[in-house]
Chain A
Amino acid sequence: MTASPTGEDNDLEMTLKQIEAAYAAGDVPPPGLDEVVAQLAESPSGLTSDEFGRRRRRTLDQLSGNLQFGQLVRKRREVMGLEIDELAKRAKVRPSTLDELEQGDADLHTIDAVILGNLLYSLGLDALGIAERPLRELAEKHLTIYRAGPGQVFGRTRKAVRTHTRRRDLLGGIAEPDRDATRRAVETYLTEVRERLNELGTSQSR
């Protein structure tokens, strides 16, 4: 069907138009789709696994949109049909910590990365995936490191104010955030969470 248009070419065109129309609107795909897609997917792409990885991460970031880390945790817990106490027990965290995390009120300064890894693993995760960007944003806010100021800063503890907010407010205008140090702290935290997930996944598969 590669030469000039013939009756067979017209038949092909008409057949494909009919198939296109038949499957354009519905949600049921044509028969034999799995076999065809598998062959297409398994044909050599010429891309390295790093290239796939970069594209996969960008797609995950794009899909994570405006998601909040706490909301992700709460939704998964609810879908799994677990109460806060049950999940807290499984993950070996305090129920109040889990509750605060879900509400977006927890301070990552007070939640060890290993504990967070335990929690995520208890929720059925073996990698951060779509939760990475929201967790990174939270960590950037909570783990901010400030450059050394002129001296000690004193401030009173205020009720219902989180420690990271208090630090930020106290140091505002006195000490600048150290972006490089903060980035390193965030990366270290995320790496520890990843390593814990990996460790738990590996020990489970043994």
Chain B
Amino acid sequence: MKPVEIHAYLQQKLDKQIEWNEGEKSTGDPWAVIEADGWVDACLVTRDDDQLAFDFLRSLTGTDRPDDGKIEVVAHLWSYSRRHAFVLKTTVDRDAPVLASLTSIWPAAVWYEREIYDLLGIDFSGHPDLRRIMMPNDWVGHPLRKDYTEQADYRGIPTSRPGYATAVPEKVDE
């Protein structure tokens, strides 16, 4: 099925309106947005429904949207049997980011959610092993947030050196 058809089918299956978006010039991939409280149910339907059969969680990640006060979580799904792809999103509140875990549906989510927890700071309820994965356990802050500033030192080791290029370069200007 094409993404548009999957969206229509999912709306009918879940019996509710699902927000549908595509890029400014309709290039790239379109995506559907589910409300956070129906996230796990919707994902379970996409895996177990015979017409959808999304058995492969290709990627699960997040994007910080400080202007909206939200963090998006985006799942890229693929079905080996039906040979189609779909992009499913949800949003959580930036100040109290909690979302139900997908680990019971796709075990692949165990590490993906750890990474999101580490780098974007979303708390996944029901996750079996929610620890930082890339950064040290006692690191402060979540690097992929747009307003992140690196701590000045880590256990007494400075994180930048005077006279050297900064760890994260400035944005490129015109």
Q: Do A and B bind each other?
A: no
Seen from chain A, the residues whose Cβ lies within 8 Å of a Cβ on chain B are: none
